[in-house]
Amino acid sequence: MATNGWSPQLLVFLLCFYSFTLIVVLGQMEVTLALISLSNLTDQFTLLSFKSLVTRDPYNVLSNWNSNISFCDWNGVLCSHGSQRVVALNLSEKALE
């Protein structure tokens, strides 16, 4: 009987090793996605906290700042395209107090 140099023990080891590696890589992707989601919630919470401190909004700039739409679509909020994280606010000349 001809052998190809691969023992059954080596094949089992390689199968287990590659399976474990795949699980670790996929697990890291899930953790990364969870952290991005958590970061987005942190951005939204921070913006809503800022809004709650505003006592005067004569132009209703912050009227669409609510959880019904993505905070990246709120007036004056600029988000990155990839991670959808807040990168800038442009609320100048809006007479906010």
Quote the pTM value. Answer: 0.60
Read off the pLDDT of residues 67-79 as tens digits, 9 standing for 90 and up. 899 999 999 999 9
pLDDT tens track for 18-57: 666 666 666 666 555 555 555 678 888 888 898 999 999 9
**Closest to 47 in 3D by CA, of 17, 10, 15, 76:** 76
Query: Residue 30 and residue 83: Cα distance in Å, rounded?
Result: 15
Domain boundaries, the chain: 8-89
Residue 58's pLDDT band (cuts 50, 70, 90): very high
Cα separations (Å) of 36 from 25, 39, 44? 17, 5, 12
